[in-house]
A = this chain, B = another copy of it.
Amino acid sequence: MALADLQTVVRNDVGIAAVLGILKQRFGDRFQTGHAIREQHAHTTTYIPSQLPDGVAFAQSTADVQAIVQVCGEHRVPVIPFGTGTSLEGHVNAPGGGISIDMMQMDKVLAVHAEDLDCTVEAGVTREALNTHLRDTGLFFPIDPGANASLGGMTSTRASGTNAVRYGTMRENVLSLKAVMPDGRVVTTAKRARKSSAGYDLTRLLVGSEGTLGVITEITLKLYGIPQAISGGVCPFPSVEAACNAVIMTIQMGVPVARIELINSLGMRGINNYSKLGFAETPCLFVEFHGTDEGVREQAETFGEIAAEHGGGPFSWTEVAEERAKLWKARHDAYWAGLTLRPGCTSLSTDVCVPISRLAQCITETEEDIARAGLIAPIVGHVGDGNFHVLVLMDPANAQEIEATEAFVARLNMRAIGMEGTCTGEHGVGQGKIAFLPHELGPGVDYMRAIKTALDPHGIMNPGKVLPNAIM
């Protein structure tokens, strides 16, 4: 089936017209229908074409969201939650039109329970805003997907990033959440206890549901003590395989590495270009260790020995904050650095994740595939989790190149699935990966659809995402 068919959502013009009138009356200036604002709320950060919502409502409370969902539910009109718009698979598109709910005015940190190492935030709080708020508490929220995303959006896509290897993903770090469900009622999915066996795990069901089962309005998150000491550094390797083997041994020896990131040769060239640095242009691991002064020194030394055993090194590391910051800025700028490799290009980021034992093979085969396909595409990876990104740099005017990229991405996703991995480690399915979900999970997709239909019988919640023809 063609991708377009998988995403078909029938437009309900009559219902939409009714809802536009009601919401304008209810929300005044906090409801906008201008083209520019609608376009901004369907900007997908991908090459997937924008599909504009019919209006944008700016919610300031769970009650606002509830009102919008109730009106839309009554008139069978789609609801699409919107955070910072940094998701990568067309999650914010409105294939059947409808109402985009902008969550960014729900930006309050509602509570910090320092003794319990948790906090409750509104969905529009960004991860950087939360960490700024926490500054004087000695605590921090570690999940870092790169973008300064909203915590609601990160919850919705089950985001993770560079330090998931130590701190887990949003799956492990959301204790509870509040959501407006498709029937317009508000549910709190769990109490604030660290663990629970009280019935089905509604929290985990909503984490990663990409706005298709409910609109998340509040989230209770785990926090962590800021480590006493942090060390980190960069280590070059002769090959991707050597680097991956060093990662496997590091993890197997129980070194509690906080970040361990691979950048391949082309990626390192981009970083050198962009950040005016002089790293070796061979595969490199960027690593970081958290702990006590003694602990981080011990960890760094152990890692250095492991790297040397695999032909890597020299491993230069530091405990000096400024030097580390420079290092991680270079890593975090890998996206922009990648773009410098092909001025004027547009890009697409993949995010397959495989068991770590298959990682070297998967990356190596992917590098060969890139070369064969004649694409320019650096690779960066959260290799401690077996997750890596290929940043394909495309000429947006070249239809043939876009087609070649799509074919490459399909091969990459199927390669990962064939290696007992997933087509998406952290970006989510959205529109872009709908076609791959049945290959990955087979009948699991039917049970997902049964759940979707049970909770959202009229298919108003972010239709055309995650599941093939979810509202058929």
Contacts and interface: CB of A to CB of B under 8 A. Distances in A.
A276 interface: no
A424 B198 contact: yes
A435 B187 CA distance: 19
A292 B289 CA distance: 15
A159 to B, nearest CB: 8
A331 B164 CA distance: 33
Contacts of A172: 168, 172
A19 B251 CA distance: 50
A189 B421 contact: no
Nearest to A172: B172
A25 interface: no
Interface stretch (A60-68, A203-211, A279-287, A313-321): A203-211
Contact of A445 (B199, B433, B453): B199
A194 B353 contact: yes
Given A224-B254, A251-B117, A201 B198 contact: no
Interface residues of A, number: 95
Contacts of A117: 251-252
Given A113-B357, A118-B355, A440-B198, A191 B420 contact: yes
Contacts of A450: 454-455
A444 interface: yes
Interface string A412-423: 000011001111
A442 B188 contact: yes
A469 to B, nearest CB: 14
Contact of A169 (B118, B195, B298, B386): B195
Contacts of A100: none
Interface in A99-142: 113-118, 138
Contact of A427 (B197, B443, B448): B197
Given A116-B356, A252-B114, A420-B191, A441 B199 contact: yes
A310 interface: no
Given A420-B191, A422-B190, A422-B191, A199 B356 contact: no
A417 B191 contact: yes
A159 B356 CA distance: 27
Interface string A397-426: 000000000000000000011001111111
Interface string A439-472: 0111111011011111100000000001100000
Nearest to A382: B195
Nearest to A450: B454
Given A254-B228, A450-B455, A454-B451, A422 B188 contact: no
A205 B205 contact: yes
A15 interface: no
Interface string A173-200: 0000000010001111111111111111
B455 A451 contact: yes
A262 to B, nearest CB: 15
A438 to B, nearest CB: 10
A193 B298 contact: no
A248 interface: yes
A253 interface: yes
A322 B420 CA distance: 41
A49 interface: no
A96 interface: no
B116 A192 contact: no
A138 B116 CA distance: 33
A45 B279 CA distance: 63
A195 B53 CA distance: 32
B437 A187 contact: no
Given A248-B115, A252-B117, A426 B193 contact: no
A426 B195 contact: yes
Nearest 6 CB-CB pairs, A to B? Answer: A204-B204, A454-B454, A115-B357, A192-B420, A193-B353, A225-B254
7 contacts: A116-B357, A193-B387, A199-B445, A201-B208, A228-B254, A295-B298, A451-B451
